[in-house]
A and B are shown apart, each in its own frame.
Chain A
Amino acid sequence: MNALTLAVASIKSRPLHSSLCMAAVAAGIALLCAVFLFSQSVAAGFARNAQGIDIVVGTKGSPLQMVLSSVYHADIPAGNITMADYEELKRSRQVRQAIPLALGDSYKGFRMVGATPAYLDLYKAEFKNGGVFSKPFETVAGAHTGLAVGQEIAVTHGFAANSDDVHDAHLYKITGVLKPTGTVLDKLLVTQVASVQQLHAGHSHYDHAEEDEEKEPEEHNHHSHDDEHSHDHHEDHQHDSHDHETHDHEAHEHDEPAHDESEHEGHDHEDRHESDDDLAGQVTAVLIKVRSPVDLMNLPRKINESSNVMAAVPSYEMARFTKSLGIGKQLVIVLGIGFVILAALMLLASLASGLSLRRYDLAVLRVLGAAPARLFATVMAEAAMISGAGAIIGVIAGHLIAYSAVISIESLRGLVLPGTLLAPNVTDIWFILLGVGTGLFAAFVPSLAAARTDIAGLLAKGRS
């Protein structure tokens, strides 16, 4: 029998007290652990989605909006740039790889991305069935889209799942379905840039030709008829240098009562087309991989200073973004630390009150020959076991909390891999040590009191 056996016996003899203390430690550690795992996996998700994308180039506007829309497919693109801009970037000596993206359509909320097969390679995508697209209007479906090879789908204009604006002139045919990658790719449909361009170039020619043409022009954030980001589109509208009546684009001025206005608000949607011929000659963004770290420093500056397009570095933008989100995280961390402190106080109170009951027991141990250090160790061992068990329970609970949070938040799918949240993490050890450390800290004073028990005085008084 040693200090541990005595501590175990003492814990067992007061099950309610011990388990309450354990629960308090567990709650604090669980909260901290869950917040940590959650933010770690979100950060990892951001990084995983931006892998191989050093720089994003798109139309001038908000860099964060551009990164969100073209890397994470989470926001609406602000506009488009010309194919010529893309070609110029592609030719740049500093650019190792440039992938054009054409956005604007979706299928049941899953975005249709016009790109090149290199886009799939960015996420190391593998095919579950089928293969890559080779012709316009062939598409590869992400793992979570629920589509199957051979299926034909009509995409809708815009990104809302409930859009009525169906591009029914051309159906897309699924040529391949991807395995899950744990990235946004899982929720995307990927096709050739040309498909999207053609569909929009032909938008007015083929879609809804029979629909009424007298309605207000629908406000669209749409690359095939947006060429500039503008905050004063109404004005632009009135001073439009082009004659609306002469353009085919009126054909898309159809009635869309169910269309989500907010989705378009704040974005450009002017119909000031330079020329109809350019409708097809646009892409929404270009994902660039540079040749060297020095290029990563210089190229964005060069682009932003010398051209009419904008470059942004995803890692930088996301760091700024998550920093601004950090307040919420800090709040939960403060809460978690509060729980841990509370747990320490509970443990302290529990041990102190337990000690006054056990003073005679401890005195007996001294009489039987135990040195004060041994009594100290016994009480410390008790605290260590309670807090250690609490911390282990807390870490397990933390993993489960983070896991259930992630699987219950739809928008995190594709960003976070839930499975990784259940896997043991190196930091679990630190959280357990933190729990045990807190317990030992709380137990220090009671342990010292135990070691300094006035035996002679206690024995003289006797147990009441």
Chain B
Amino acid sequence: MFLKSTNIGVHRKGSASLSFPDLSVDTGDSVLLLGPSGSGKTTLLSALAGLLKPSEGSVQIEGNDFYALSSAKRDQIRGQNFGFVFQTLHLLPSLTLRQNIALAADMAKASPDEGRLDKLIKDLGLTDKAHRKPDALSQGEQQRAAIARAVLLRPKVIMADEPTSALDDENAQKVMDLLEAQAKDTGAALLIATHDNRITNRFKNIITLTDQTKEVA
């Protein structure tokens, strides 16, 4: 089992306490975290990715307690094994599209694989735009670049936070196709958090989160 969570709860001051159902993800899996906004989907993803130490419970990565590791080690593991796609794209406006994708390797301190980078850019139809800044690209092109960045290092798990909610039906399905294709290509697990019901039919493994703010309030 690559990634496993047990009895995770997150208490942050100023916001509701969240507790989450247990979850386990292995390479090749596809898991959908379905829940309305306020159900703590992003918080759960952060906790699973080593970005937010849960107040209770534990996260295991390849059998080890993720938060028993040093923060530097967690950063390193995350950089090399996790790929992220966000609802808002988070491409750096000061860098070109190609530099944005290459950033994944730089930040994870992995040696850049130029061949892989070029192939990804070509496969995603971005070759012409490789040296443009994100501002000069369409929404769809930015979305594809963000996915390319997530999969550059052949991660073990691709985490996507609301990858489709801002898109129309056609683009939503295209992005899901792309994510699934890239996950299959790299052998990565796909963990998608969304409230977008249009894509639920693609998943067998669905974990439903409820809006926990109401219970507390």
Q: A9-B99, A368-B104, A371-B72 are in contact. Are A456 and B51 (CB under 8 A)?
A: yes
A232 within 8 A of B: no
Question: A460 — which chain B residues lie within 8 A by C-beta?
Answer: 42-43, 46
Least CB distance, A289 to chain B, in whole angstroms: 66
Q: By DSSP majority rule, is chain A's interface helix, strand, loop, or mixed? A: helix
Q: Does the CB pair B75–A364 fall under 8 Å?
A: no
CA–CA, A398 to B113, complex, Å?
Answer: 47
* A367 near B84: Cβ-Cβ < 8 Å: yes
Tell which of A2, A9, A368 touches B108, judged by Cβ atoms closer than 8 Å. Answer: A368
The reply on A365 being an interface residue by CB < 8 A is yes
Residues of chain B lying within 8 A (CB to CB) of residue A369: 75-76, 78-80, 104, 107-109
**Given A10-B94, A369-B109, A462–B87 Cβ distance below 8 Å?**
yes
Size category, A interface: 20 to 34
Partner of A371, one of B12, B71, B87: B71
Report B39 CB to chain A, min CB distance, Å. 11
A361 within 8 A of B: yes
Contact A367 B51 (CB under 8 A): yes
Interface residues on B, range: 35 or more
Cβ-closest chain A residue relative to B14: A457
Q: State whether A456 touches B92 (Cβ < 8 A).
A: no
Shortest distance from the beta carbon of B177 to any chain A beta carbon, whole Å: 24
Q: Which of A2, A6, A364, A463 has the most CB of B within 10 A?
A: A364
The answer on a CB contact under 8 Å between A366 and B51 is: yes
Check B79 against A360 for contact (C-beta < 8 Å).
no
Give chain A interface residues in 10-34, CB to chain B under 8 Å. 10, 12-13
Contact B94 A9 (CB under 8 A): yes
Is A84 close to B, CB under 8 A?
no
Please, how many angstroms separate the alpha-carbon atoms of A425 and B149 in the complex?
Answer: 48
A19: min CB distance to chain B, Å: 16
Contact indicator A370/B79 (Cβ below 8 Å): yes
B95 within 8 A of partner (CB):
yes
- Can you name 16 A-B pairs with beta carbons within 8 Å? A1-B102, A6-B95, A9-B94, A10-B94, A361-B90, A363-B90, A364-B92, A366-B51, A366-B75, A367-B49, A369-B79, A371-B75, A456-B42, A456-B43, A456-B47, A459-B51
Interface residues of B (CB under 8 A from A): 12, 42-43, 45-47, 49, 51-52, 71-72, 75-76, 78-80, 84, 86-88, 90, 92-95, 99, 102-104, 106-109, 149, 161
List of 10 A-B pairs having minimum Cβ-Cβ separation, nearest first: A369-B79, A456-B46, A13-B94, A368-B107, A369-B108, A456-B52, A9-B94, A463-B88, A370-B107, A460-B42
- Known interface pairs A361-B92, A367-B90, A462-B88; 14 further A-B residue pairs with C-beta atoms within 8 A, sorted by A's residue number: A1-B103, A367-B51, A368-B104, A368-B107, A369-B76, A369-B80, A370-B75, A370-B79, A455-B52, A456-B42, A459-B42, A459-B51, A463-B88, A463-B90
Q: Which residues of A contact B (CB under 8 A)?
A: 1-2, 5-6, 9-10, 12-13, 360-361, 363-372, 374, 455-457, 459-460, 462-463
